[in-house]
Amino acid sequence: MNDLPLMELKDIHKSFGNVDALKGVSISINAGECHCLLGDNGAGKSTFIKIMSGVHQPTSGQISINGKETEINNPRDAIDAGIATVYQDLALIPLMSVSRNFWLGRELTKKVGPITVMDFEKCNSILMTEMDKMGIQLRDPTQSIGTLSGGERQTVAIARAVFFGAKILILDEPTSALGVYQTSNVLKTIERVREKGVAVIFISHNVSHALAVGDKFTVLSRGETLGTAKSGEIDFQELQAMMSGNKELSVLKK
């Protein structure tokens, strides 16, 4: 593994008018690592994701990819740099088949005479292989996304991002809407992706889910990073306390 971080963000600030959403966020991401970014609601997680995925530009700060300072001016730049974001709403279309969803926008085609048509045979067989690798047993590539469970949908969305060349995968609250069993499936998927050398940025406010897969933990609180800890160096209570700014929990204990 390379010592150079795959992606590094230093002292990122972002203001919207008078509101300072981010007041100095630093994080460094390595290949094959699952880096958990923890924070309570309103800590600035969404803003930070949008900066990494090119939706927003930082007011100040430095972004480097493979050691080279880079500007991410739009989502296209982010995709070209191998950064893929799987949002909570997944960008999957429930009424469409798994195969049509997986290839949407990047359909494989073939020529039949002068006409270009989708190559369903190839699309479907590649899809089945990819799903198999991710541990999803699809009955049929033409079954609709709507028939899959929430965890399976997450996995399809992740598999799609990785298949299309994501080096850095940003997962926005992938487990927040899932039950225990589904969550464990998604965590397994994250493990599989990580083994391929993809860097995973796992954004969550659920400390136990983060601890289950994370290699590193960065806590975001009120627009600032409070530092990064490695797996094993920090426990549930400490993380929880940092996230909540040490206050709310003590109030609860009384």
Partner 1 sequence: MSTIEKKISLLRSKFSVALLRPDLGAIVGVVLVFLFFFLVARDTGMFSLEGSMNWGIVSSQFIIIAVGACLLMIAGEFDLSVGSMIGFAGIIIAVTSVVWGWPVWLSIITAFAVSMAIGGLIGYITVKTNLPSFIVSLAFLYILRGMTIFIAIISTKKTIIGGVTEVAENDWLAPFFGGKIFTGAFDWLAEQGIIQTFVAGTKAGQPVVSGIPMMMVWAIGLIIFAHFLLTKTRFGNWIYAAGGDAQAARHIGVPVNRVKILMFVFTAFCATVFATTQVIEFGSASADRGILKEFEAIISVVIGGALLTGGYGSVIGAALGAVIFGVVQQGLFFIGVESSLFRVFLGVLLLLAVILNTHVRKLITGAK
Query: Which residues in this chain contact partner 1 in the complex, by CB under 8 A?
Result: 87, 89-96, 100, 103-107, 109, 115-118, 139-140, 142-144, 146-148
- For the chain, the 3-state helix, strand and coil shares in percent, each to the nearest 5, are 35, 30, 35
Q: Which two tokens stand for residue 253?
A: 């204990």
| Structural contact between residues 82 and 168, judged by C-beta atoms closer than 8 angstroms | yes
Q: How far is the CB of 136 from partner 1 (least distance, A)?
A: 15
Q: How far is the CB of 140 from partner 1 (least distance, A)?
A: 6
| Residues 6+ away with beta carbon under 8 Å from 21 | 14, 15, 44, 47, 223
Q: How far is the CB of 170 from partner 1 (least distance, A)?
A: 13
Closest CB to partner 1 among residues 97, 218 = 97
Closest CB to partner 1 among residues 22, 162 = 162
CA distance 194 to 189: 9
Closest CB to partner 1 among residues 106, 133 = 106
Closest CB to partner 1 among residues 4, 108 = 108
Q: Which H or E run includes 184?
A: helix 180-195
Q: How far is the CB of 151 from partner 1 (least distance, A)?
A: 13
Q: What are phi and psi of 124, to 5 degrees?
A: -70, -40
Q: Are strands 19-29 and 199-204 parallel, antiparallel or unpaired?
A: unpaired
Q: How far is the CB of 40 from partner 1 (least distance, A)?
A: 26
Closest CB to partner 1 among residues 141, 223 = 141
Q: How far is the CB of 120 from partner 1 (least distance, A)?
A: 8
Closest CB to partner 1 among residues 132, 191 = 132
| E-only strand ranges, the chain | 7-16, 19-29, 34-39, 60-65, 68-69, 83-86, 109-112, 115-118, 168-172, 199-204, 216-221, 224-230
